[in-house]
Structure 1
Amino acid sequence: MIDLLVAGGGPAGLATAIHGALAGLEVVVAEPRPTPIDKACGEGLMPAGVRRLAELGVTVPGRPFHGIRYLDGTTGRHAEGLFRTGPGLGARRTGLQAALAGRAVQLGVRVVARRVEGVRQGPDSVVAAGLTARYLVAADGLHSPVRRELGLAAPPVPGRAARYGLRRHYAVAPWSDCVEVYWSDRAEAYVTPLGPDRIGVAVLTTEQAPFDVQLARFPLLSARLPAAPGAPVRGAGPLRQSSRVRVAGRVLFVGDAAGYVDALTGEGLTLAVTAAGELVRCVRAGRPREYEQAWLELSRSYRALTASLLWARGQPRLAGRIVPLAARLPGVFTRLVNVLA
């Protein structure tokens, strides 16, 4: 029998498959889309994520970056925090997914072009997509169909503005060896170096408007960018998604499907890869229910820091002080950056 049936062939699903294969489990990934899969993403791996991927034997093409820089999108005032434990990596989403997929195939993971639905659980197995396995891992993204099918999606909090992400690539040489985060009164723009002649610009905002309208809110950044006629824009959202649990019988959730706060702190990919390892450890030990607590502990700093920063961003009297405060307290800012790193 299949040990793990993984719903979703994105980074979280493939990382789970690789962890499982390395642990000696039989793993099948169900993914209806062809590789590589692109999506809206900040495309920055924090240092811990880079290390986790190296431990899995995954080599990802990209460009190293050495810290995080916050900038006021109008005045240019900034604060910079450098990593103390090695560089992060700016990597195109397609390159990351292709590298993970290649490693999974190398380890003997079977990938089938199927959509996972019609989940049925028994005392010793779970059936979905015409396959039977000991466990189903839902790694099917922000708006997880499996989470929705099982009735595990928590309702949105009334009065909380939904946030959305947009991303576009530019054919321009990176001008910084940090990920830059530009702040305006209503949005943030992330600039990630991806290669010698390419950067990614991702905008996080509560307002649904075209990318160029969003970008105009950051005049200092806009002035650095070449015209990008026809360059595709990828979008995602609403970003905040909650799951009532991470373990529901023989179904376990990982990656964005397990619950997501926001992309503001850039920890999503690192958390997904690390949590995938904990999920496999718990399953292999025959104690899958322990994964719930493991996920809560792993994600505690991400959830706390991201929620706190989002709260401050939502306070009109505080939002404009985030960058000046970080600039006045460089030691504190650097410590926070390294907690995330």
Structure 2
Amino acid sequence: MTPDADLLVIGGGPVGLAVAIEGRLAGLSVIVVEPRSTPVDKACGEGLMPGAVAALGRLGVHPDGHVLSGIRYLRGPRVADHLFATSPGLGVRRTVLHAAIAQRAAELGVVVVPGRGGAVEQDADAVWCAGIRGRWLLACDGLHSTVRRQVDLNVDRRGAGRRFGVRRHFRVEPWTDFVEVHWGRSVEAYVTPVADDVVGVALLGPAHHDYDRTLDSFAALRRHLGGAETLGPARGAGPLHQQTRRRTAGRVRLVGDSSGYVDALTGEGVRVGLAQAHAAVATLDDDVARSNAAYEKAWTAATRDYRVLTAGLLAAASSPLRRGIVPLAAAAPGLYRAVVERLAR
């Protein structure tokens, strides 16, 4: 039986569509299964590191947004700034980013069908899901991936590291071109300018904290926002920490958040997801075992800095060392610069 497509992509968020674009650029036929209409929104910080901007440009995607000059850490009167060394980042509303990637995918002939991933079946030659048969299935269905559970690659971390993110937009002129990270007692506030008159504020921390009350605890941030109008509903995501046994199971590959996630703390999730999308397609080979080994190796290389540095910072943020993170960054600008640039590549 002839497959319906070379690549069956479950999940049409930014990473799923990036996989689809990579497939079409490689000359493969692609079907994406996604239940939501375009544009798809998601709770996230919305700051693209310079490396993510470059990766999108390679795919032919150039979203509108607000130029980001660097990263700023703040805790009370302590401030640590770092300007990106080579090129700027970009603050982009998630809906704008998704619409731009979807437009590029459509230009390249990617087929998107409404539906959800369900049971997964495969043999030596093909894989079935959502009533569609593909040579390969690439699961891009997010933190709580259905496909990941179907192929038994999930690691249950119930009760461990349960941090969540909640994001709102405010109608206010940005007061800086930096992504600001305000460090509170147990919550970080990520502030990202995404347009000339819109700022996104994402709060990352334990479950069940009250958004407005927590925001009020960041006095300087609250003063900047003043009585600014909120735009749309608050959006949440989590728990953020997800682990996987492997990223491959026969002809199934996990890509993006479905392949494992440490935390949004260092803000480079899109860059890492785009790198995984490229690797997932570039390593495809008729020899499934060899191809999967190549993807596992490429996935490890693409995510190593993110996993190591984010895990280390998260461990410090969850310990008595938390209060010293911003003072250390301010007192050791070389170290702070090295970490930011490593993640911004």
Q: TM-score range by the shorter chain?
A: over 0.9
Q: Does 1:57 align with 2:55?
A: no
Q: Return the letter of the residue paired with 2:212.
A: D
What is the correspondence of 1:241-252 to structure 2 with a 5 Å cutoff? 241-252=242-253
Aligned residue number for residue 118 of structure 1: 119
The two structures have a TM-score, normalised by structure 2, of 0.95
Q: What CA distance in whole angstroms lies between the structure 1 residues aligned with 2:116 and 2:156?
A: 25
Contact preservation (8 Å) 2:168, 2:231 = no
CA distance in 2, matches of 1:231, 1:18: 30
TM-score computed with the length of structure 1 as normaliser: 0.96
Q: Which of 11, 15, 18 lines up with 1:15 in the alignment?
A: 18
Aligned CA distance change for structure 1 residues 230 and 107 (closer, same or farther; 3 Å): closer
Matched, 1:6 2:9: yes
Gaps of 5+ in 1: none
CA distance in 1, matches of 2:270, 2:35: 21
Taking the aligned partners of 1:251 and 1:48, their CA distance within structure 2 comes to: 27
The superposition leaves residues 63-87 of structure 1 with CA deviations (integer Å, 9 ceiling, x where unpaired) of: 1101100000xx2310011111201
Q: Unaligned stretches of 5+ in structure 2?
A: none
SS of the counterpart of 1:309? helix
2:318 to 292, 306, 314: 314
Q: Deviations over 1:100-120 (max 9, x none)?
A: 111001001100001111110
Separation in 2 of the partners of 1:284 and 1:56? 22
Q: Secondary structure at the match of 1:283?
A: coil
* 1:82 and 1:337 in contact (8 A); partners too: no
Q: In 2, Cα distance between the equivalents of 1:30 and 1:291?
A: 22
- CA–CA distance in structure 1, aligned partners of residues 149 and 213 of structure 2: 33
Cα drift, residue 230 of structure 1? 7.1
Distance 1:85 1:230 in 2: 33
Q: 1:202 & 1:229 partners in 2: Cα distance?
A: 13
Q: Deviations over 1:120-156 (max 9, x none)?
A: 0111000111111100000000110111222221121
Report the number of matched residues. Answer: 337
- Equivalent residue number for residue 42 of structure 1: 45
C-alpha displacement of 1:176 = 0.7
CA 1:21–1:82 in structure 2 vs 1: closer, same or farther (change >3 Å)? same
Partner Cα separation in structure 1 for residue 257 and residue 141 of structure 2: 8
Alignment partners' CA distance in 1, 2:79 and 2:286: 47
2:243 aligned counterpart, secondary structure: coil
Kept in 2: contact 1:76–1:220 (CA 8 A): no
Q: Are 1:104 and 2:105 matched, yes or no?
A: yes
Residue of structure 2 in register with 1:25 after alignment: 28
Contact 2:181 2:188 in 1 (8 A): yes
**1:303 and 2:307 are equivalent in the alignment:** yes
CA distance in 2, matches of 1:155, 1:192: 32
1:214 shift after superposition = 1.9
- What percent identity do the matched residue pairs reach? 51
- 1:272 to 2:273 alignment: yes
Task: Report how far residue 174 of structure 1 moved.
Answer: 0.7
Counterpart of 1:335 in structure 2 is 338
The 5 A counterparts of 1:1-341 are 1=3, 2-72=5-75, 75-156=76-157, 160-227=160-227, 228=229, 231-283=232-284, 287-289=290-292, 290-316=294-320, 318-341=321-344
* Amino acid aligned to 1:99: A
SS at match of 2:267: coil
- For the 8 Å contact 2:169–2:232, the answer to whether it is kept is yes
